Amino acid sequence: MLMTMKEILKDAKDRKYAVGAFNVPNLESIQAVIAAAEELKVPVILQHAEVHENLISMQEIGPIMLDYARRASVPVCVHLDHGASFDLCIQAIRLGFTSIMYDASAKSYEENLEETKEIVKIAHAAGVSVEAELGHIFTSSIGGGEGRGAVGAEDFNSLDDCYTDPITAKNFVEATHVDALAISFGTTHGVYLTEPKLDLNRITEIKKQIDIPFVMHGGSGVSDEDFKTAIQNGITKINYYTYGAMAGGNKIREYVKSVGNNEIFLHDIIAAGKEGVKEDVKSAMKVFADSIL
């Protein structure tokens, strides 16, 4: 059943679990994520990332995402992830996406606030939820998926310069009326090269100032225990892609090895990859929604 992000995250916030948000740049990813959610009976968010426009356009994949969401037996939100383009956000709303992320976090605070305010007015008028971002999520040089190149702690004068400030978050949310806020507390996009140093207490400090759903971007290398602590502290949406995509690739490698010199068919390779994605996504969902399973 198709729902908005605001509707889905309200239950997650009330019951202290997190909803997995998975980028799905092909049909098989959509099928794998929906199947995993239905088997576990948990809500899920299907995402199209603007950076994946080079793999498939939102105009092509969006209607398929929406069709699977409508027919699913669990609540499903269809979301534009890291929409840095105002035009693409409007296209997503027109397509029927129930949620968008307008990401102006690379701009000045003032530009981020004013542009987010404008997109919120448009989206809310159409009944669409909005996520924004404050702070900077570290990005690995491998599979980061943000389209900005590698970004690490060494790129800032101090961690306070890149982590989300609680008072700034309060002012931003009150001014923009966003439905969810992606916050920075030390996580990394892509394949992590060093173990993340997380400031999990920062989530609690931000929650003291503004009590809305918080989003965790860049879960690479985060332990199950740290995921659960982050959720208890206020995280209600967790973006997940890199390791699921790798799991699909690894399953294909295993299948090709098992076939040896025998005939090999494309549909069997695709089926193996889809199963690998599903298994990994299901494992992640079990951690994110542990408190309700």
pLDDT band at 149 (very low <50, low <70, confident <90, very high): very low
How do the domains of the chain map onto residue ranges? 5-292
DSSP one-letter code for 161: G
Residue 165, marked binder: no
Confidence check: pLDDT of 155 > 60 = no
The angle subtended at Cα 236 by Cα 78 and Cα 136, nearest 5°, is 85
Residue 262, marked binder: no
Residue 198 CA to its chain's centroid (Å): 18
Query: What's this model's pTM, rounded to 2 decimal places?
Result: 0.91
Residue count of the chain, please give it: 293
What pLDDT does residue 126 have?
A: 98
- Please state the φ and ψ torsions of residue 57, each to the nearest 5 degrees: -80, 155
Confidence check: pLDDT of 187 > 70 = yes
Q: Report the DSSP beta bridge partners of residue 240.
A: 22
pLDDT tens digit sequence for 40-91: 999 999 999 999 999 999 999 999 999 999 999 999 999 999 999 999 999 9
Residues recognised as catalytic:
81
Fold of 5-292: TIM Barrel (3.20.20)
Confidence check: pLDDT of 139 > 60 = no
Average pLDDT over residues 224-251: 96
Asked if 97 and 62 touch (Cβ cutoff 8 Å), the reply is yes
pLDDT tens digit sequence for 17-47: 999 999 999 999 999 999 999 999 999 999 9
Residue 190, marked binder: yes
Q: Report the DSSP beta bridge partners of residue 183.
A: 134
Confidence check: pLDDT of 12 > 60 = yes
- Max CA distance (Å), the chain: 63
Confidence check: pLDDT of 156 > 80 = no
Residue 133, marked binder: yes
Q: Amino acid letter at 168?
A: T
Residue 242, marked binder: yes
Asked if 280 and 247 touch (Cβ cutoff 8 Å), the reply is yes
For the record, the structure tokens of 208 come out as: 């003291």
Average pLDDT over residues 102-127: 96
For the record, the structure tokens of 52 come out as: 């994946």
Q: Report the DSSP beta bridge partners of residue 180.
A: 131
What pLDDT does residue 106 have?
A: 85
What pLDDT does residue 236 have?
A: 98
pLDDT band at 146 (very low <50, low <70, confident <90, very high): very low
